[in-house]
Structure formats: structure tokens, C-alpha cells
Structure 1
Amino acid sequence: METAEGSFFPVIDYSSYLNFKTHVTGDIREYIAIMAVESNLPMSKDNGLVIAWADVVSRALSQEAFIADYPRSNRIATIKTLYKSYETATFYGLNNTPLFHYDNLEMDLEAEKAYNAVLAKDTSGSPYLEKLSAFMKLAKADDYKLTGEVEAYRKENIPL
């Protein structure tokens, strides 16, 4: 059981299923791996990010790969939903950990560093990284501030 903001909810410990990875199909093996990471250390707590921005990107890439590799998996809907939450966190942040600070509208410095470090590597073949690359180019041109152009890009490419 977990608790957040006065609510209690069950959490499946997917890491216990890792012992069975040799006995399941590839999609289920990957699903368990993705979900074990989530159950061991969730992305957020009390609507605040509790993992590093680089981990947000890394997890989104794992989910994107699952979606590409296993489009007919019976776990695809769950992973697509999870991916959407990571995509939203990447480009917007969370209420208690926004990507752009509420007071000065500047991008979180740790996010900026993490995103630029990831993008310094090869981004070809990943629609997620291609969106992030275009977003960061736009943000850089605006001195990493939340401007009308940056907001328009988010609304067009990553609608809430």
C-alpha cells in the first residue's frame, strides 16, 4: 500500500515478477521490466517529480521502444498511457515540479542540462527525441524561457 495526499492505494511490486522473465514472451518480459522500474521508484509523489529529468527521458524511451516493438501486445494500452504521462512530464513537468518555474518562467536548469546531454547523442529514429530536439532548439532561441512560441509548440505537439 502507498499513500499520497491522504489517499491510500495498492501498488503491485513488479520486481517480484522478474524471476519469471525466462518463462514469458518478449512483450511481457519488457512490460515487467518497465513496470518494475515504476513500482520500485515511481516518477512522482504528491504531484512532484522524484526522479531526475534524465530518468524521465530514459523511461519514456523504454516505453516508446515497447510501443514500437510490440504494437499488438495486450499490454500496449497500459504502456501508451504511461508513455503519455512521461511525455507530458518531459514537456510540462508536474504541478509541484514544473519544467518552467512559475515565478520567472525560466526552464529548470537541471532539466535543461539533462535534455541537452541526451540530445548530444544520436536522436535519429525516435519520434520522442525528435520532438524534444525541436522543443529544445526553440527554447534555446528564447533563452530557455516560456514564451508564446514555446507554449504554442507544446500545445500543438504535446496536447494535454
Structure 2
Amino acid sequence: MRKTCFILVITVIFIMFSGCSNRVSNETTVSNETNESNETTVSNTSNETTASNETTGLSQDQEIIDTFNTLVNSKPVDLLKISDFLVNNIKKISAQNADLMLQGYEKIQMQSLPSYQDAFFDPSVQSTLLTYSIEELQQNQVKETDLQKLLTDAVAVGYKIEAIEGTVAPYVDYGYYAQFGALTTASTSAFYALMKVESDNPSQKDGGLLISWDEVLQRGINFEAFLKTYPESYYYERASMHFEAYQELALNGSINVPLFEYETNVMNDEAKTAYTFFVEKDMESEFAKLMKNYLTLLEKNNFIKTSEVESFIDLQK
């Protein structure tokens, strides 16, 4: 039953990812061409040519992108081979084509995630994994040779090991993408920097809030700034979903750490302090203005979630 739940979660995540990756960007052009063989290709954006390749009419960028596409569309997919090629060649191409390579890799990495998770979901494997702490697993401090390989293989292709709802499995590690920030365009670098924070320090897990209320507000500001700075980014819609999620957290809290106590509807004291400090800052931000108006309304209602407060929250959805 737990395996089924995890597969459902990953399916939903992939649908969100796929739905957002079709945005047209003025910075890069990605051709996610679906043909009869369902291949995914990355189109070279560079018009550069080199003297050594004049006879073939192909630039170094084009040769690298062509090889990358061949690897991505090989069956079965060898994610480790694709990752090794990316790591060794991304520095040789333009920033625009580096963007495209990362976009292509992230798509194939998401498609491959369920198969990597299946290996962890095997009952005998899962029971052994659960004898170790998450820190031991993340540092590969296990005795079993087969587990060492399982963990090593997952990390090598850009996954990280997490324990969610009592089950250990690999998930996308955005630190993998952030390491290439200096080789990509500004918007790609900025997006993956934001995602690395999410990956390293998730805001929620098992319905609980894992970060402070101050951090909830700051992350909302950070994603809003990205949206304002890069309105034509390939990652705009994904960043927008993260911003909306933080706005919802700021207005309501999480399931297990609500902004208002379930029995009394009184606002969380720590949140009250954090919000008061936050609105005192002089920030040119629509999110900051929203929170200032929200706090003014809460003060009027003695920091109790009244019908008036609920109406305000509903208007932001």
C-alpha cells in the first residue's frame, strides 16, 4: 500500500513537471519533440562553428548536443552514462546550450525516478535500510555491499536519500543542478539555487513544517523575486507554483503546524512575532504588501481566525 502511495505522489509530481516544461523561453529553446518513438530531443541554440568542424558543418556544441540526445533516447536508459557525459561536457558548450542539457537531463531523471525507487521499495531492502539512520544512509555508512551500490548509484545520477512517512527512497537532489550554475544563463542558475535550498532543507515533511515562520516568508520573497526578474524563464511556472505554496503556508500554515490553533483559532505566537518583524521591513514586494495587510487584519481581529480572516485567505487562492 505504501509503495502505491509513493508511486502516486511521484506521478503527480511528474505531471506537474511535464506540464510546466513546455513554456517558451526567450533565453533558450527546448524542443521536447514527441514522435512515433516518443523520443525527447534537445535542440542546439548555438550558431557557432569551429575550423576543425567546417567540413561537417557542425559546431562543437552541436556534436555534444547530438551525442547527448543519442544517450537520452537509448533504450534502456543508462542514467549514469548520461550523467557522466553531462558532467564532462557541459563546460564545453554555451550557457544557452548548458541550459538545454540540464532541462533534458532533468526530464529523463524524473522519468527514471520510479525505477530507482522500486529498488528501494523491495521489502527485504527496505527493512535493512530502516536499520540505519538517515544520516548513515546519506553518507553511505552501511555494511551490506549491495546496499552500498544501491546508494552509490542513486547519488551518482543526482538523487538524494530521504525518509518520508517511514519509508526510505531516493528523490531529486537539486544540488546536482546547482553545481553547474556558473555554466548556465542567469535564470537557470537562479532557479536551481532556489531549488537547492528546497532540496537541502524541505519546508514540509509528513504534514509538518520543518522551517521557521521567518524562513517561510523569506522563501516567498525569494520566489517572488525570481518571477519578477525572469518573467520569460523556462522555469517560470514551476517557480510560480513554489511561490503560491509559500503564500499558502504564510496564510494558513501546514496540516500539522497550522498558523491558527485548531481548537481556539488563535494565531501561533512564534508566527505572530515573525510576521510583525517581517512587515516592519521596507520591501518593494507585492507579497510583503499582502502580508502587511494580512497582519493589519489579524490585529483588528485580535489574532483570531474569524470569518473575516477566512474571507481574506480565500480571496488569495
Q: TM-score range by the shorter chain?
A: over 0.9
2:242 partner amino acid: L
In the alignment, does 2:311 pair up with 1:147? no
What is the percentage of aligned positions where both structures have the same residue? Answer: 31
In the alignment, does 2:143 pair up with 1:11? no
Q: Partner of 1:80 in structure 2?
A: 240
CA distance in 1, matches of 2:168, 2:285: 37
Task: Give runs of aligned pairs for residues 8-157 of structure 1, distance below 5 A.
Answer: 10-123=170-283, 125-156=284-315
* Unpaired segments ≥5 residues, structure 1: none
Query: Displacement of 1:7 after TM fit?
Result: 5.8
Query: Displacement of 1:16 after TM fit?
Result: 3.2
CA distance in 1, matches of 2:268, 2:227: 29
Pair 1:103–1:153, CA change in 2 (3 A): same
Once the two structures are superposed, residues 85-119 of structure 1 have per-residue CA deviations (whole angstroms, 9 ceiling, x without a partner) of 11110001111011101011110011111011111
Bigger Cα Rg: 2
CA distance in 1, matches of 2:230, 2:254: 29
CA distance in 2, matches of 1:40, 1:16: 11
Partner secondary structure for residue 22 of structure 1 = helix
When the two structures are superposed, what TM-score results if normalisation uses the length of structure 1? 0.92
Query: Displacement of 1:20 after TM fit?
Result: 1.8
Query: Displacement of 1:74 after TM fit?
Result: 0.6
Partner secondary structure for residue 121 of structure 1 = coil
Pair 1:44–1:31, CA change in 2 (3 A): same
Query: Displacement of 1:11 after TM fit?
Result: 2.2
With CA pairs under 8 Å and 6+ residues apart, which has the higher RCO, 1 or 2?
1
CA distance in 1, matches of 2:188, 2:312: 35
Query: Displacement of 1:9 after TM fit?
Result: 5.5
CA distance in 1, matches of 2:212, 2:272: 12
How many correspondences in the alignment?
157
2:176 partner amino acid: S
Once the two structures are superposed, residues 34-58 of structure 1 have per-residue CA deviations (whole angstroms, 9 ceiling, x without a partner) of 0000000100010110100000010
2:245 partner amino acid: S
Once the two structures are superposed, residues 50-93 of structure 1 have per-residue CA deviations (whole angstroms, 9 ceiling, x without a partner) of 10000001011010000111111111111111111111100011
